[in-house]
Amino acid sequence: MRTWSSPQAELLPEGTVVAIIPARGGSKGVPGKNVARVGGVPLVARAVAAALDAGIRQVVVSTDDDSITAAAEEAGARVVMRPAELAGDTASSESALLHVLDQLEAEDGSPRVVAFLQATSPFIEAASLRSAVDRVLSGDEDVVFSAFQTYAFLWRETGAGAEGVNHDAGHRPRRQDREPHFQETGAFYVMRADGFRSAQHRFFGRVGIEQVPEALAIEIDDPVELERARALALADGARPAVGAVDADALVMDFDGVHTDDLVFVSTDGDEAVRVSRSDGLGLGMLREAGLPMLILSKERNPVVSARGRKLRIEVRQGVDDKLPALEKWAAEHGIPLSRVVFIGNDINDLACLGAVGWPIVVPEAPQGVRASARIVLTQRGGHGALRELADLILAARRELP
């Protein structure tokens, strides 16, 4: 699974660089933090995708947790299980990196460069990471880490009151007259492998800074930061363009997805809805491609059944709790939820959106629902949304070898 479709850098030579992502399962501030979703994708999978998109062939996740293992492997990483003594609150990231390097050396030999990525930084830009890797590979620096430029006046509290850290409190020069400083983002540290082994620490020798945007420099350590990251993921600049949806099944809500969520009611109480012929054509192409599909609706309405018959798509309706029905249907077809697209439009779809590998919503979904999605479509429900989605799914199938 690719976390998203983005331009991939030229692949680095085999064995030269390894990306290591330490991700233990015992987070207390945000339980299950490393598999929490931002932009509809588990954090550990986002980090794996950044490394792969930077052209790093070998990506290793060090963990002690089964759910992290599943997400990492699904994203395309190798997993090295760490021993209990390296999985506690006091274990350092360096100890996990060294453990992985020992494993690799025993198998295939050590790489020249280690890229240490943190899954808790959800907006790692592949281009910045690759630039840092190239700088270390070239020998220009021994270590390059991500940081953003800041002109902030820093203070510390002392027993005698607050005092300036990086400035004279009695002198307030203009921004353009001040020297900038740089704040670590924690997103990545790229190091010569032999130098890291010798120093046992991420900073040694000639250290360089890879500047990254301050706006994307979020490190998630508490629930507030997680929600901030989810909100930021809705912004155009933080949500990579998706050119294809690589999935094996499609499950759809009805109202607000097949329709614009409006209903026509006659004087006799009969209901009618408006649907898109373009959507029908797109779903027909998916059916011809052999993609299993399901309409899953809370409402029990003859119009839903009629639309399903017209499209020759299975319908299960009158379902108050959609997630168990989704899980049952996927199991019947032998399809893991990580390979399923679910498209919805409102809060009663959140459980399903949070369970599948491809949570997708229409643009008029509430912000809290859009924040759970991996893709927010551009076309509205009942006005071409399903055709847009069909094209994305078919694009991935055309890319398959």
What whole-number distance in Å separates Cα of residue 139 and Cα of residue 192?
A: 9
- Mean pLDDT computed over 372-381: 94
Q: Which CATH superfamily is domain 17-232 in?
A: Spore Coat Polysaccharide Biosynthesis Protein SpsA; Chain A (3.90.550.10)
- Mean pLDDT computed over 164-175: 84
pTM of the model: 0.85
pLDDT digits (tens, 9 = 90+) for 94-113: 999 999 999 999 887 889 99
C-alpha distances in angstroms, 44 versus 105, 123, 164, 245?
24, 11, 38, 19
Least confident of 68-82, 143-157, 228-242: 228-242
Regarding predicted confidence, which is higher, 365 or 262? 365
Quickly tell me which residue has 């649907």 as its tokens.
Answer: 275
- Mean pLDDT computed over 39-55: 95
**The domains spanning 17-232 and 249-399 adopt the same CATH topology:** no
Residue 308 confidence (pLDDT) above 70: yes
**Stated length of the chain:** 401
- Mean pLDDT computed over 1-19: 72
Regarding predicted confidence, which is higher, 269 or 63? 63
Domain ranges in the chain?
Answer: 17-232, 249-399
* Closest to 56 measured CA to CA, from 134, 123, 162, 120: 134
Residue 207: per-residue pLDDT:
98
pLDDT digits (tens, 9 = 90+) for 231-261: 898 876 556 556 789 999 999 999 999 999 8
- Mean pLDDT computed over 174-197: 92
- Chain-wide mean pLDDT for the chain? 91
pLDDT band per the 50, 70, 90 thresholds, residue 29: confident
Domain covering 249-399, topology: Rossmann fold (3.40.50)
CA atoms within 13 A on the CB side of 171: 7
Residue 185 confidence (pLDDT) above 80: yes
Residue 2: per-residue pLDDT:
41
pLDDT band per the 50, 70, 90 thresholds, residue 38: very high
Residue 302 confidence (pLDDT) above 50: yes
Least confident of 164-173, 236-245, 289-298: 236-245
